Amino acid sequence: MTNLPNQTLDSIFQSLSAGECSSGAALAELIRSLRPSSATNHEQAVMNLRALAWLLEHNPTYRQALRSALLELLTQTRQIPLYTESGILANTGFFSTLSKRVGERLLPMPIREDSLQDRFGRLFRWKQDHIWLAGIPDETWQQLWQAMAWPEEEDRAGWVQTRLQMVEAVQILSARVTAIGLEPELVRVYPEIERFESPFLHLNAAVLSYADSYRRALADGTAQAEDDKHVLVLLDQCEEILGKIRKNASRNGISVNLTYQALRLLQSLNRLRALLALLEPGHDPGHNPALFHLIQDFARAENRKYSVSDVLKSNTELLALQVTEHAGRHGEHYIAESRREWAGMAKAAMGAGLIVGVMALIKLLLAQAHLPLLWEGLSYGLNYAIGFIIVQLLHFTIATKQPAMTAARIAAALHQQEKSGSRVPLDELAELVVKVMRTQFIAILGNVLLAIPTAAIIALGWQALFGQPVVGTAKAQHLLHDLDPLGSLALLHAGIAGVYLFLSGLIAGYYDNKAIYRRIPERLAAHPLLNKLLGKHRAWQLGHYVEHNLGALAGNFYFGLFLGLTGTIGIILGLPLDIRHITFSAANLAFGLVALDFQLPLGMIALYCGGVALIGFTNLAVSFSMALWVALRSRKLSGRQVLPLLPLLLKHFIRHPLQFFIPPAAPRPPIDEAAGDKPAGS
């Protein structure tokens, strides 16, 4: 650690006092001298500010020069945009804001010398200034403020002008809050917002009365007739409504525009509170750190004003939560609680394996048709998509679809455990993971155990019926080679399929959210033509089905297209792109072995079987890890929250290994001795 040399500060203040440099240049040089060598070196930043405070405390000329430079900066610039725009999303919408940031990053706006916002951004031009500023304790800031001895300052005009501009900024922000609060997107989610008693409608009038009273008090030098208590009460009510809007979104759906407006509203409310705190009579930054927190907010906003990732992260967080919430609710159906449900999952998986065997046959026949490249990819994709939709309609289960759903369910339980902070929920979460693992195991087993014999029976029947195998020897060898985990790109292609599984889960959650947000079920039920063709009750049934199955159908459709078109895209781009899915790989294993009449060494067959198992593991690992990461991030959690589960799961596996594969038997009900075990003569 290095201390700030006093001679550096001396030279800056001497130049400023002698008029050898402008106040702006002196302030820029001062901040450059205070800046630590590393943004994370908070200790050096604190020592630098303490050195400055000591120097100001012992040199009245220096502190007078610094006060004058700051007041000159305030009086010569327009302050309102800094208070009302910096760190607050613009009223242009999500995509317009995104494109604007990209454009300004490529071609930045020119600096306006009369704008405090631009001058502030030039003072804190290093993109990591906000990091070291945020690491300075409030006590150090207050020590610096007290060393500046503001009561000594005789020029009050600068402070009066600053307060007047703050009051004007408060009025502008309150008008924006009222406008945002009455946006149709927010009203749709929370209709009560339009009532006459809405705090958004009363906020503007209350702020206007407060602002008039504040200006009269500044002009007359008298006590303020009306304080900000009523305004603060209305702000509390506005924040309460915003919380209800976010809560109702889980029922009524969410959109990018709604999250954008909700975030903009929250930012405006927070800024209003910060400015009102600074405008309080007798407010002293030497004892209240609100001013320094606001400066840190300004610094971060100016440092990150061209950041595209910040806009994406802040505006998609609630949408991601909503999408994963829908996936989590579906995930509950993929977790077997009892042996009966476990057996039901096995039957559903076996049914899916039967259909996949047929789908694999169709895929092989389409390959023999030698269609044009694009049509071939589309035909593969439609084969997959239609097959997956049939699986969905018949209430069967594709095992690899589960991780994207169950990961969101685990994240929701983990979030609940994090909020409770107790040990019992963590044990319950470990039990949930065990249930997920054994359900996943039986689903994969059901898929594979039916896909292999189904494909084998189809291949043998085809050979008996047509006198030739479904595929030739060369094609059979190629199918088996694609399962080799060592001699082919099978695991890479399995990872690509895992990514598609993850994306299909997000798509399913997105369409479930869209169905609710756009009120598609009610619109279908009320559609005049559907009511005429189907009848009122059946139209309602159709809407009810769409409400609960649109996401799954859309996810399966897109997943099928992803699988079918990947190989085609790889050929077009000249890249080794393809997919490997465990259930289809198992069916291809059967088709290949039958075509070769099982004339392979036992070791080779074992290698290909191991390849199928590794493909399945890769499918599940990639899709589950990605889905869990998104679900955790949407709830502001990190992967570290999962670590305490690992020793619990290991302990559980050592004690009860079979429970990771088979559910324990249900406990027998206790014997009622009073009713059934008494001797006959008693």
Is 680 part of a structural domain of the chain? no
Residue pair 411/403 in contact by the 8 Å Cβ criterion = no
pLDDT at 570: 94
Structure confidence at residue 424 (pLDDT)? 43
Chain-centre distance for alpha carbon 104: 25
Burial of 445 (0-12, 13-18, 19+ CB in 10 A): middle
pLDDT > 70: percent of the chain: 87
- Answer yes or no: do 387 and 238 share one domain: no
Residue 340 confidence (pLDDT) above 90: no
pLDDT tier for residue 680 given thresholds of 50, 70 and 90: very low
* Cβ-based neighbour number of residue 376 at 10 Å: 19
Question: Reduced to 3 states, what is the DSSP secondary structure of residue 635?
Answer: coil
pLDDT band at 454 (very low <50, low <70, confident <90, very high): very high
Q: Which of 29, 41, 46 is nearest to 128 (CA)?
A: 41
Give DSSP secondary structure letters for 135-147: TS-HHHHHHHHHH
Domain match, 297 and 394 both: no
Residue 501 lies in domain: 321-657
Q: Render pLDDT for 576-591 as a digit per residue (tens, 0 to 9).
A: 999 999 999 999 999 9
Residues 6+ apart with CB under 8 A from 661: 438, 441, 442
> Is the distance from CB of 30 to CB of 12 less than 8 angstroms?
yes
Backbone phi, then psi, for 198, in 5-degree steps? -60, 130
Identify whether residues 266 and 351 lie together within a single domain: no
Q: How many whole angstroms separate alpha carbon 527 and alpha carbon 536?
A: 9
Considering its fold, how many domains does the chain have in total? 2
Does 471 fall in a domain?
Answer: yes
Q: Are residues 256 and 348 in the same domain?
A: no
Is residue 315, in this structure, part of any structural domain at all? no
Question: In this structure, are 336 and 300 located in the same domain?
Answer: no
Higher pLDDT, 422 or 38: 38
Let me know if residue 543 belongs to a domain: yes
Q: Is residue 466 part of a domain?
A: yes
Residue ending a domain, among 254, 275, 306, is 306
Does a structural domain hold residue 79?
yes
- Does residue 674 lie within any of the structural domains? no
Q: Which residue intervals of 6-115 are DSSP H helices?
A: 6-17, 23-34, 42-58, 60-75, 80-84, 94-106
* Alpha helical stretches, state H, 284-338: 290-303, 308-331
Same domain for 330 and 260?
Answer: no
Mean pLDDT of 606-621: 93
| Residue 54 to residue 45: CA distance in whole angstroms | 14
Claim to verify: residue 506 and residue 578 sit in the same structural domain: yes
pLDDT digits (tens, 9 = 90+) for 509-521: 788 878 887 888 8
* Cα–chain center distance at 260: 14
Residues 397 and 300 in one domain: no
Here the tokens at position 458 are: 């189809």
Which residues, including other chains, have CB under 8 Å from residue 564's CB and lie 6 or more apart?
377, 378, 379, 380, 381, 382, 383, 384, 385
Residues 138 and 164 in one domain: yes
Cα separation, 583 vs 437, whole angstroms: 18
Classify residue 126 by its DSSP letter.
S
163 with 24, same domain: the answer is yes
Residues 519 and 492 in one domain: yes
Residue 72 belongs to some domain of the structure: yes
Whether residue 646 sits in one domain with residue 531:
yes
What are the pLDDT digits (tens) for 217-263?
888 877 776 678 899 999 999 999 888 887 776 677 777 777 788 88
Question: What mean pLDDT comes out for the span 12-33?
Answer: 80
3 state DSSP class of 78: strand
**What pTM does this model have?**
0.72
Given a contact cutoff of 8 angstroms between Cβ atoms, the answer to whether 448 and 582 are in contact is yes
Structure-token match 């030098």, residue found:
221
Q: φ, ψ for residue 492 (rounded to 5)? A: -65, -45
CA distance linking residue 125 with residue 119, whole number of Å:
10
